Chain A
Amino acid sequence: MEPAVSIRGLTKVFRVPSLKRQRVVAVRDLSLEVASGEIYGLIGPNGSGKSTTMKVLLGLSRPTRGSTAIFGRDSLSVSSRIDVGFLPENPYFYKFLTGEETLHFYGRLGGLRRKEIRERSGELLALVGLEEARHRRLSGYSKGMLQRIGLAQALIQRPRLVVLDEPTAGVDPAGSRRIRDLILKMRDDGITVILSSHLLEQVQEVCDRVGIIFQGELCREGPMKDLMAIEDQTEILLEKASPELLEKLKTVIREHGDESALLSMGHPRTTLERLFLEETSGKSPDTRE
């Protein structure tokens, strides 16, 4: 099956405007593939080359060496972007447009007809929870609302690939959770997602595979479960276990006699995000692994 994204030997060098003609290697010989329908997380510190990789993938920047392709089409060709939706970091869409006008504008650019845009806008505004604000200008939108209208514009022409650069940057936990749920909904709809984020916990929650990029190089890559698993340790999670049962378990482990050892036993902790949401919304959000 054709990969959604294919990056081969990508190197991107920027010239620094100075008398010495300095050059900065932003991405060095990076290769990766993203299968259709998966959520791929690209993580790394600031300046590691994540955004540059995304820009080259979207044809906004030219590779110095190597190539990138979307569903088999070279990223440099305009037609490769028919199937792509993009949400940049801290997007500032046209503030003089209303939410509905914004979707209409991007829908027309995406090649949709007026009638299709009307239908699709309605669906998307409902999906991102902005139906009430559809006639309000974006200048009156909060940060979280801007991110959500950004997601809606990225999805307007039903792309098969969505690229999200720090989609929850500056958004409060409730808004962040909402965006996370939208990303999971995209996967359910069969959309491939490439996600770059500093919020590692969020990446861990939603991504199927992860690539760690550092100083322009892909250091580690693989399925989330493989990367996160500690091979020589096992976790057992019990519900309503009595102290007697726990004592029995400890005894069994002790008496087993091989190298196995009990490292810890106690109550699992909730996340700060979950606690925040419980306190502020009055209801517990669903937990997803």
Chain B
Amino acid sequence: MNPSPSPHRLCSPIRVWVIARNTLTQLVRQRAFYFLLVFSLVILLAAMLIQNFTDDASRQLKIMKDMSFFAMSIFCTIFAIVATSNLIPRDVEDRTLYTILAKPVPRLEYLVGKYAGGMLVIFFSLAIMTVLLYLALYARQQALMAEYLVVLNRPLSPEGREDIELILSQLKEAGPSWRLLTAVLAIGLQALVLGALTLFISTFASSGLFTVVVAFVAFFVGYIEPVVLDYWRSSAESISRLGSFVSYLVELVFPNFQTFNLVDGVVSGAALAKGTMAKILSMAMAYVGVYLLAAYFCFAEKEL
């Protein structure tokens, strides 16, 4: 029997998935995962050298977490901008886009598929990095606890015993826990927003370099915007209507990327304010939706 195309659907999740999976393969085969190797080496190296930095046991684990989250954050930020900036322009340049859109593929599906593929790489990378972090943290925590348990079994003064027990309870607190996942999730959500913003810029940008520069500037503006605007509002004697409107517009267009920074709180063990995750999640989804919609409007009218 001759194969025949199945009936055409206006929006097919299968086609979106096919494009997303292809983008994932593209990014992985282009050795994007080599960054993961560097990351795992950093973690392992940190785990080995950490004892040289400080004698404070729980502080050793804190430094380890700080370093790991820094690496995750850097990886996701750079990857979300640099990888996404080239997804569509490269297809246009290589004319691969012609062969894709010459099939019954709506431009929206192509756009969403490309974005989803890029974000899948971030998802898998974060998942692997998180597992590595948990393993390294657990191993170090167990090693430290074993050392202190040996000390605890020796004859000690009551004060000395109390000190060791305090250290052991601090080590238990500082080890791997579910709370760390909230920081990982926030890093991932920030990458989702940055990816969507970069994709939007790439639909009208004249070059990949322009896209990367504008995306990084937008990220920087979003990061410092709350501090700058707060300072300006508190120091200005009176704010004109225009000034107020412009500052409101800046707040609206550029997401406040400080909102996604949960690392400090999570690492220091501070409790998250109620509704923080819901706020971050809804904010990320709203910005992703708006940026993707804007990207679609630009891309739908693009002459190929």
How many angstroms from the CA of A106 to the CA of B102 in the assembled complex?
A: 10
Say which residue of B3, B19, B94 sits within 8 Å of A92 (CB atoms).
B94
**Shortest beta-carbon contacts, A-B, top 4:** A116-B3, A86-B102, A111-B5, A92-B94
Q: Are A110 and B98 closer than 8 Å at their CB atoms? A: no
Say which residue of A97, A106, A150 sits within 8 Å of B103 (CB atoms).
A106
Q: How far is the CB of B17 from chain A (nearest CB, A)?
A: 9
Q: Are B105 and A60 closer than 8 Å at their CB atoms? A: no
How many angstroms from the CA of A93 to the CA of B99 in the assembled complex?
A: 8
Give per-residue flags for A103-121: 1 if the beta carbon is below 8 A from chain B beta carbons, else 0.
0011011111100110110
Q: Are A120 and B3 closer than 8 Å at their CB atoms? A: yes
* B282 CB within 8 Å of chain A: no
Q: 22 A–B contact pairs at CB < 8 A?
A: A55-B304, A60-B98, A62-B303, A78-B104, A92-B94, A93-B94, A94-B22, A96-B26, A96-B29, A105-B18, A105-B22, A106-B99, A108-B18, A109-B18, A109-B19, A109-B104, A111-B12, A112-B3, A112-B6, A113-B3, A119-B3, A158-B5
* A204 CB within 8 Å of chain B: no
How many angstroms from the CA of A157 to the CA of B6 in the assembled complex?
A: 10
Name the B residues within 8 Å of A110 (CB-CB).
5, 103-104
Q: Are A117 and B304 closer than 8 Å at their CB atoms? A: no
How many angstroms from the CA of A79 to the CA of B9 in the assembled complex?
A: 9
How many angstroms from the CA of A106 to the CA of B98 in the assembled complex?
A: 12
Q: Are B8 and A78 closer than 8 Å at their CB atoms? A: yes
Q: Are B26 and A153 closer than 8 Å at their CB atoms? A: no
Q: Are A111 and B25 closer than 8 Å at their CB atoms? A: no
Q: B61-115: which have CB < 8 Å to A?
A: 94-96, 98-106
* A190 CB within 8 Å of chain B: no
Q: How far is the CB of B33 from chain A (nearest CB, A)?
A: 13
Given contacts A96-B26, A105-B22, A109-B103, contact A157 B5 (CB under 8 A): yes
Name the A residues within 8 Å of B12 (CB-CB).
111
Q: Are B18 and A90 closer than 8 Å at their CB atoms? A: no
Say which residue of A82, A90, A109, A117 sits within 8 Å of B3 (CB atoms).
A117
* A173 CB within 8 Å of chain B: no
**Nearest B residue to A115 by beta-carbon distance?**
B3
* A276 CB within 8 Å of chain B: no
* B30 CB within 8 Å of chain A: yes
* A186 CB within 8 Å of chain B: no
How many angstroms from the CA of A257 to the CA of B161 in the assembled complex?
A: 133
* B271 CB within 8 Å of chain A: no
How many angstroms from the CA of A105 to the CA of B15 in the assembled complex?
A: 9
Name the B residues within 8 Å of A117 (CB-CB).
3
**Nearest B residue to A117 by beta-carbon distance?**
B3
Q: Are B95 and A88 closer than 8 Å at their CB atoms? A: yes
* B153 CB within 8 Å of chain A: no
Give per-residue flags for A11-35: 1 if the beta carbon is below 8 A from chain B beta carbons, else 0.
0001000000000000000000000
Name the A residues within 8 Å of B104 (CB-CB).
78-79, 81-82, 109-111
Q: Are A81 and B304 closer than 8 Å at their CB atoms? A: no
* B10 CB within 8 Å of chain A: yes
* B2 CB within 8 Å of chain A: yes
How many angstroms from the CA of A212 to the CA of B69 in the assembled complex?
A: 64
How many angstroms from the CA of A84 to the CA of B19 in the assembled complex?
A: 19
Q: Are B105 and A109 closer than 8 Å at their CB atoms? A: yes
Given contacts A78-B10, A91-B96, contact A158 B3 (CB under 8 A): yes
Q: How far is the CB of B12 from chain A (nearest CB, A)?
A: 8
How many angstroms from the CA of A180 to the CA of B105 in the assembled complex?
A: 29
**Nearest A residue to B95 by beta-carbon distance?**
A88
* B14 CB within 8 Å of chain A: yes
Name the B residues within 8 Å of A88 (CB-CB).
95, 98-99
How many angstroms from the CA of A88 to the CA of B91 in the assembled complex?
A: 13
Q: A106-160: which have CB < 8 Å to B?
A: 106, 108-113, 116-117, 119-120, 150, 153-154, 157-158
Q: Are B101 and A112 closer than 8 Å at their CB atoms? A: no
Q: How far is the CB of B289 from chain A (nearest CB, A)?
A: 22
